């Protein structure tokens, strides 16, 4: 009984992530607009955009292959699957036995791999540029991410997210200074993974400066909606990860309406606050030169290493 | 003083080439040297260019076949240390070939290509004879600026391919961008050859927005051409119409009232301010720093609203008229201008201080898009692009017009300081940023000073009803992009026989191909924006 209830809640968690993801994008855009002295669109605009794109026809280049057409689905499925392993308001994910943090990274990698292929597939110049840049950044980001995960896994005794978060929510951060360094690294990596400033600029219209946007430049209509949705789900998952690993308090450890409700509310507050913070940060820095971006990733790696050293100290 | 300089110049040229010169003449600040034979052109141009300290301002071709003069080509040189323009004039004598001067004066290349497209005259010795202004769909044997070409001709489309320069080598890729871009900007094609992200070569292909202004002007009345000149590039409307009016005023020997001079100066500087602030905002956008851009765009908007309340036009259309200006600046408006620029300049200062303190922003600008000084000099670059490498050219100083004679008085110490300042400039995007900031401050100062003075001598002088046919003169002004030159030759019955415009963008577009060579592809938009080139102003 409790098992099937857990599965139901697990599915609800995934749906919550999917449903809330465009809202986070909307909140970030609104925050950026307000900090730039603009009114900005409503925070629900990403939902309207998606609804609009869903109704639109697609234009697919006749030079492209099946890779281009299946990439939005591979993206969505890979990222959607990863969403099952992320605890949102219940600390132990019922699907935790099937996959851990490393699998999530792998699924992200799969989605990215196909996006890069799709960028090359249409043989448009910008797709190629985008893929090559994405490749450069991701080859550096992944080791940094693994290092950060190691620090967390060593501290909490496993890469399984349920274990990590359950342990985390029952302990205080104070005895684990290495986690602060892991959090710094994780934060930088999340900026990179979601293509936020100073790595990339979501608001740019300049094709030559784009990274992620250049890869998906050829997409339109439903495919574009799917890709954008996958991107925002990925973003909210990363936010959920950093929020629940490093600020786990408030997450529900038992199945009862009141604790789950409390868990959901605190979750929304946590990630909204995080989104607002990231948007603020984006408003206060310019995009870095492309070849200075590795320096920032090096900071993340160094920070994780310091965390690792502190763990063994 | 200037008359003495002119005489010295004339003497210098005559003494070297006495037997090659048919006639020497001068009027206002222009010296006309008529050659016997166009084949002597390269020698004399080279002499004027190297020993008289001049730069090539423009090359003007006219179709004077009707007047038994065949095609006439005028090479205009601008003296760098005196207010003198030297015209070297030769007629073609039934041939369709003329000698190229590119090997000595590289800046001539695009003028010669333009003449080849528009008149069908071939510059012999120019290594690059690809079409420039007219694209490959235009038939090879139709030349729109010849008098025989009727304005209303419908031209058949032809299929051809433009031969871009190909860079071969291991790992070299081509990136072609445009002519249609993602932002709301004008069309232009950029062909990059890249090795990874490093730009090996850039070729620009512009002239997608041909409006036929020079041809159109020949069929219009003088007052209508004024409106046309404002529309060469919307954001340079005051500079271009000022240059146009000055050309007509110079031909008809009309001196405009002091009040009109001051009003032109004020509007010219207001135009510079709103555009420079807009460009600084654009630089901030392209560096990915939206906050700075938002703040600067607010200021640009405030300046444009000020423009609207002064002239009824946000981009200052309809300010000039031939012989003077249309709008009087009332005492109420004077107060409004003072208040507005007081507020805007203090806010502007705050934002600039803030931007300078942003390391991520400054890092993007520093060392990006460095213009090599030698090449800038060879290509005859004007405006901010020239001043950012320390080439001190500014029409307002070099050939004072309107009220700028008043604002030019500098003490020897100030001149010294300016020279030192010029030497320090490194030609990167940061230098252009700083030059623009300085010019905004200078403009505010000039506006304030022009408002202080009070004259009451009317808004305009009447221009004679009938202007001598085939008389001509050069009008010029400094837009926010640099020097804009308008050369007008009057026709019969107060029509325009030939209207040759050379905007700053026409000179400066070439430099971008050199400025990006040490950069990577994602920095190109920033280099482009910091140069602030106009597509429309380039393609007439």
Contact A125 B177 (CB under 8 A): yes
Binning chain B into helix, strand and coil, the percentages to the nearest 5 are: 45, 15, 35
Do B327 and B311 belong together in one domain?
A: yes
A250-287 pLDDT per residue, tens: 787 777 888 888 888 999 999 999 999 999 999 889 98
Distance from the A83 Cα atom to the nearest Cα atom in chain B, whole angstroms: 31
Is the same domain home to B192 and B275? Answer: no
pLDDT band at B58 (very low <50, low <70, confident <90, very high): very high
Q: How far is A197 from chain B (nearest CA, A)?
A: 8
Give B151: exposed, middle or buried? Use CB within 10 Å, 0-12, 13-18, 19+: exposed
**Cβ neighbours of residue B180 closer than 8 Å, sequence gap 6 or more:** B187
Give CA–CA dist A229/A86, Å, rounded. 17
First to last CA, chain A: 45
Q: Which of A286, A290, A291, A299 to mutate to test the interface with B (most CBs of B within 10 A)?
A: A286
Report the gap between the CA of B275 and the closest CA in chain A (Å). Answer: 21
Task: Report the percentage of chain A scoring pLDDT > 70.
Answer: 98
CB contact (8 A) between residue B360 and residue A198 = yes
Query: Domain end: B58, B91, B124, which one?
Result: B124
Q: Cβ contact (<8 Å) for B294 and A37?
A: yes
Q: Please check whether residue B133 lies inside any domain of the structure.
A: no
Q: For chain B, list residues whose CB is within 8 angstroms of any CB belonging to chain A.
A: 173-177, 181-183, 196-197, 284, 286-295, 298, 358, 360-361, 363-364, 520-525
pLDDT of residue A2: 61
Instruction: Tell me the C-alpha to C-alpha distance, in Å, between residue B233 and each of A199, A215, B272, B436, B504.
Output: 36, 35, 13, 19, 11
Residue A1, pLDDT above cutoff 50: no
Grouping H, G, I as helix, E, B as strand and the rest as coil, residue B437 is helix
**Do both B181 and B273 map to the same domain?**
no
pLDDT of residue A76: 95
Write out chain A residues lying below 8 Å of B196, CB-based: 132
User: CA–CA separation, A207 vs A217, rounded Å?
Assistant: 9
Q: Do B182 and A37 touch (CB under 8 A)?
A: no
Q: What is the pLDDT of residues B328-379, one digit of tens each?
A: 888 888 999 999 999 999 999 999 999 999 999 999 999 999 999 999 999 9
Asked if the Cβ–Cβ distance from A289 to B363 is below 8 Å, we say yes
Task: Please indicate, yes or no, whether residues B450 and B372 belong to a single structural domain of this protein.
Answer: yes
Nearest CA-CA distance, residue B524 and chain A, Å: 7
The beta-strand segments (E) located in A247-290 are none
Q: Does residue B245 share a domain with residue B188?
A: no
Residues of A in contact with B294 (CB under 8 A): 36-38
- The answer to whether residues B272 and B247 belong to one domain is yes
Taking any CB pair shorter than 8 Å as contact, residues of chain A touching chain B are 32, 35-38, 125, 128-129, 132-133, 197-198, 201, 203-209, 283-292
All residues of chain A having their beta carbon less than 8 Å from the beta carbon of residue B523 are 289
8 Å CB contact of B290 and A203: yes
B196 and B312 together in one domain? no
Name the token pair of B200: 């090996």
- In this predicted structure, what is the pLDDT of residue B464? 85
pLDDT, one tens digit per residue, over A232-252 is 999 999 999 898 888 887 787
Q: Which of B182, B520, B525 sits opposite A290 (nearest CB)?
A: B520
Tell me the average pLDDT of chain A.
88
Kindly list the residues from chain B whose CB atom is less than 8 angstroms away from the CB atom of residue A37: 294-295, 298
In this prediction, residue B1 has a pLDDT band, given cuts at 50, 70 and 90, of low
Q: Do B364 and A288 touch (CB under 8 A)?
A: yes
Across the interface, whether the CB atoms of B197 and A204 are under 8 A apart is answered: no
Say if B109 falls within a structural domain: yes
Average pLDDT over residues B169-181: 88
Q: For position A248, what pLDDT does the model report?
A: 81
B70: in domain = yes
- Most A CBs within 10 A among B184, B188, B197, B290, hence the mutation to make, goes to B290
| CATH number where B107 lies | 3.30.460.80
Q: Please indicate, yes or no, whether residues B400 and B305 belong to a single structural domain of this protein.
A: yes
What b-and-e string marks burial along B247-279, b requiring 16 or more CB atoms within 10 Å of the CB?
A: bbbbbbebebbbbbbbbbbbbbbbbbbbbbbbb
Under an 8 A CB cutoff, do B364 and A286 touch?
A: yes
Q: Is residue B145 part of a domain?
A: no
Q: Does one domain contain both B272 and B397?
A: yes
State whether B287 and A283 contact (CB < 8 Å): no
Q: Where does a domain end: B205, B223, B246?
A: B205
Which of B360, B428, B429, B524 to mutate against chain A (most A CBs within 10 Å)? B360
Average pLDDT over residues B292-299: 93
Residue B242 domain boundaries: 213-538
CA–CA gap between residue B244 and residue B228 (Å, rounded) = 10
Q: Which residues of B touch A203 (CB under 8 A)?
A: 290
User: End of a domain among B150, B180, B205?
Assistant: B205
Same domain, B293 and B265: yes
User: Do B239 and B368 sit in the same domain of this protein?
Assistant: yes
The more confident residue out of A77 and A178 is: A77
* CB pair distance less than 8 Å for A209 and B525: yes
| pLDDT single digits (tens) A10-60 | 888 899 999 999 999 999 999 999 998 889 999 999 999 999 999 999 998
Shared domain for B309 and B440, answered yes or no, is yes
Is B358–A285 a contact, with Cβ atoms under 8 angstroms apart?
Answer: yes
Please report whether residue B131 resides in a domain.
no
**CA distance readout (Å), B510 to B211, B501, B519, B528:** 21, 17, 16, 12
Q: How far apart are CA B215 and CA A83, in angstroms?
A: 65
Asked if residue B123 lies in contact with residue B114, where contact means CB atoms within 8 angstroms, the answer is no
Per-residue pLDDT tens over the stretch B442-498? 999 999 988 876 777 888 888 888 888 889 999 999 999 999 999 999 988 889 999
Show Cβ contacts of residue A146 under 8 Å, excluding neighbours closer than 6 positions.
Answer: A105
Domain count, chain B: 3
Q: Is residue B461 part of a domain?
A: yes
Chain A interface disruption, residue of B181, B182, B302, most A CBs within 10 A: B182
SS3 B401: coil
Q: Please report whether residue B406 resides in a domain.
A: yes
Q: Which residues of A touch B524 (CB under 8 A)?
A: 208
Does residue B134 fall inside a structural domain? no
- What does the pLDDT read at residue A159? 82
**CATH code at position B370:** 1.10.645.10
- The shortest CB-CB distance from A286 to any of B174, B176, B287 is to B287
Mutate to test the interface with A, among B522, B524, B525, B529 (most CBs of A within 10 A): B522
């Amino acid at each position: 009984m409790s098992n099937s209830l857990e599965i139901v809640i697990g599915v609800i968690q995934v749906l919550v992530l999917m449903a809330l993801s465009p809202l986070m994008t909307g909140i970030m855009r609104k925050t950026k607009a307000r900090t730039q002295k603009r009114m900005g669109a409503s925070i629900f605009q990403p939902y309207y955009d998606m609804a609009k794109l869903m109704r639109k026809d697609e234009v697919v280049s006749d030079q492209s292959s099946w890779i281009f057409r299946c990439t939005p689905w591979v993206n969505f499925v890979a990222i959607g699957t990863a969403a099952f392993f992320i605890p949102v308001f219940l600390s132990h994910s019922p699907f935790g036995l099937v996959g851990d943090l490393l699998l999530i990274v792998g699924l992200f990698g799969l989605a990215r791999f196909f996006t890069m292929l799709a960028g090359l597939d249409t043989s448009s110049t910008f797709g190629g540029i985008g893929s090559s840049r994405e490749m450069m950044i991701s080859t550096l980001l992944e080791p940094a991410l693994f290092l950060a995960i190691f620090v967390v896994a060593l501290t909490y005794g496993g890469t399984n997210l349920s274990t990590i978060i359950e342990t985390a929510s029952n302990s205080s951060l104070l005895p684990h200074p290495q986690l602060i360094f892991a959090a710094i690294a994780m934060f930088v990596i999340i900026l990179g993974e979601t293509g936020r400033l100073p790595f990339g600029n979501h608001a740019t219209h300049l094709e030559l400066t784009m990274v992620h946007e250049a890869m998906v430049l050829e997409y339109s209509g439903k495919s574009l909606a799917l890709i954008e949705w996958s991107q925002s789900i990925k973003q909210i998952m990363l936010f959920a990860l950093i929020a629940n690993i490093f600020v786990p308090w408030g997450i529900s450890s038992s199945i009862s309406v009141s604790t789950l409700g409390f868990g959901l509310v605190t979750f929304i507050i946590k990630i909204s606050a995080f989104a607002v913070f990231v948007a603020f940060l984006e408003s206060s820095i310019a995009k870095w030169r492309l070849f200075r971006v590795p320096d920032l990733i090096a900071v993340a790696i160094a920070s994780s290493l310091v965390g690792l050293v502190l763990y063994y100290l | 003083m200037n008359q003495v300089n002119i005489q010295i110049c004339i003497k210098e040229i005559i003494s070297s080439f006495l037997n090659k010169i048919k006639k020497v003449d001068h009027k206002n600040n222009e010296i006309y040297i008529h050659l016997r034979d166009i084949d002597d052109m390269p020698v004399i141009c080279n002499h004027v260019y190297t020993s008289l300290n001049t730069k090539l301002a423009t090359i003007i071709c006219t179709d004077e076949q009707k007047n038994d003069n065949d095609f006439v080509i005028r090479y205009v040189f601008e003296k760098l240390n005196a207010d003198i323009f030297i015209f070297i004039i030769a007629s073609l004598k039934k041939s369709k070939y003329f000698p190229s001067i590119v090997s000595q004066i590289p800046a001539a290349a695009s003028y010669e290509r333009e003449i080849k497209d528009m008149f069908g005259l071939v510059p012999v010795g120019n290594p690059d004879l690809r079409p420039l202004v007219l694209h490959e769909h235009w038939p090879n044997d139709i030349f729109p600026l010849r008098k025989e070409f009727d304005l209303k001709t419908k031209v058949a489309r032809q299929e051809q391919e433009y031969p871009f320069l190909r860079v071969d080598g291991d790992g070299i890729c081509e990136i072609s961008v445009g002519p249609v871009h993602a932002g709301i900007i004008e069309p232009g094609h950029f062909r990059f050859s890249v090795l990874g992200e490093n730009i090996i070569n850039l070729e620009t292909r512009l002239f997608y927005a041909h409006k036929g202004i020079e041809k159109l002007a020949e069929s219009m009345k003088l007052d209508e051409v004024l409106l046309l000149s404002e529309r060469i590039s919307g954001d340079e409307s005051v500079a271009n119409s000022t240059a146009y009016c000055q050309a007509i005023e110079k031909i008809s020997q009309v001196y405009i009232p002091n009040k009109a001079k001051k009003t032109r100066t004020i509007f010219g500087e207001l135009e510079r301010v709103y555009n420079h602030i807009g460009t600084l905002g654009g630089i901030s956008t392209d560096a990915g720093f939206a906050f700075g851009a938002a703040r600067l765009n607010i200021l640009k908007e405030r300046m444009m609203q000020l423009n609207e309340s002064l002239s009824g036009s946000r981009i200052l259309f309809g300010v000039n008229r031939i012989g003077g200006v249309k709008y009087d600046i009332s005492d109420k408006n004077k107060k409004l201008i003072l208040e507005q620029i007081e507020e805007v300049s203090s806010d502007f200062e705050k934002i600039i201080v803030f931007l300078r303190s942003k390391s991520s922003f400054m890092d993007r600008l520093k060392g990006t898009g460095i213009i090599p000084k030698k090449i800038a000099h060879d290509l005859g670059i004007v405006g901010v692009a020239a001043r950012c490498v320390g080439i001190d050219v500014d029409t307002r100083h070099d050939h004072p017009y309107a009220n700028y004679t008043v604002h030019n008085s500098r003490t020897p110490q100030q001149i010294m300081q300016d020279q030192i300042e010029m030497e320090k400039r490194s030609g990167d995007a940061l230098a252009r940023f700083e030059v623009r900031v300085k010019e905004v401050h200078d403009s505010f100062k000039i506006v304030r000073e022009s408002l202080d003075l009070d004259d009451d001598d009317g808004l305009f002088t009447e221009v004679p009803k009938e202007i001598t046919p085939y008389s001509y003169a050069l009008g010029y002004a400094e837009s926010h992009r640099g020097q804009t030159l308008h050369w007008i030759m009057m026709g019969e019955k107060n029509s325009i026989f030939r209207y040759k415009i050379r905007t700053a963008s026409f000179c400066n577009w070439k430099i971008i191909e050199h400025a990006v060579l040490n950069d990577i592809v994602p920095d190109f938009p920033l280099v482009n924006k910091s140069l602030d080139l106009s597509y429309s102003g380039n393609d007439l």
